[in-house]
A and B are shown apart, each in its own frame.
Chain A
Amino acid sequence: MTKISQDTLDLAERVSRRRARLFPLFGTGLIIGDALTSASQVGWEGAAWLALFFCAFMLVVTGGNPFPALRRLTEDETTRANRHAAILVGYSAGLACTAGLYIAAQFFPISATQALQIALTTAVAAPLISFGALERRSLAHD
């Protein structure tokens, strides 16, 4: 067991706090971006959306740690538990959204691209927002 320096501990906490603030902003931005584009995004807009989606997906899966040396602290067991809970939220939100789209498609036409964008955005934005909320709760001082 190696003692961790106070500086490393402080840096890890700053990184965690920044992540807890930025992840929900990114997730909310994705949802707002989708809501503002009523038509299907094709061409470069579609490519940009796909790039953003991939970035968000990688953040959800990896935790988006920019400093590998801090990984032990920024990905400790509380963080992993929070991320697992957030991924469950994303899974549920994605399924609920897909079911909603299926029902909506019975009443008005929705293109496959639109439906996929909405479902994927929901599935990736929900865990980002949820993870941020869980992390902020964990980071709160007693």
Chain B
Amino acid sequence: MTEALLSRLKEIRQARGLTQAELAALTGVSRKTINTVENGVFIPSTLLALTLARVLDTTVEALFQLPGEI
């Protein structure tokens, strides 16, 4: 099982016109967490992934993919 996760969080966040801080405020986490998830430094929990998807009005699969899925 791969430990890598492809993230489209930054792209989708920017498409919604949100800054990292604004998304953090809406999600209830620190900006640091949004930054590390976007940069692939940190793999989010299921809870956070679902919350991000809900806040951005998208699906978890649209936000994150396993390598080779695209």
Contact = CB atoms under 8 A, between A and B. Distances in A.
A13 B33 contact: no
Contacts of A139: 32, 35
Given A1-B51, A3-B25, A4-B25, A137 B41 contact: yes
Contact of B25 (A9, A74, A135, A137): A9
A8 B42 CA distance: 23
A81 interface: yes
A142 B30 contact: no
A16 B20 CA distance: 16
A5 interface: yes
Interface residues of B, number: 25
Contacts of A9: 21, 24-25, 30-31
Contact of B39 (A6, A73, A135, A142): A142
Interface string A73-102: 110111101000000000000000000000
Contact of A77 (B24, B38, B41, B44): B44
Interface of B: 10, 20-21, 24-33, 35-36, 38-39, 41-42, 44-45, 48, 51, 54-55
10 contacts: A2-B28, A5-B25, A12-B30, A16-B30, A73-B30, A76-B30, A78-B32, A78-B36, A138-B42, A139-B35
Given A1-B28, A142-B35, 6 more contacts: A1-B27, A1-B54, A6-B25, A9-B21, A135-B32, A142-B10
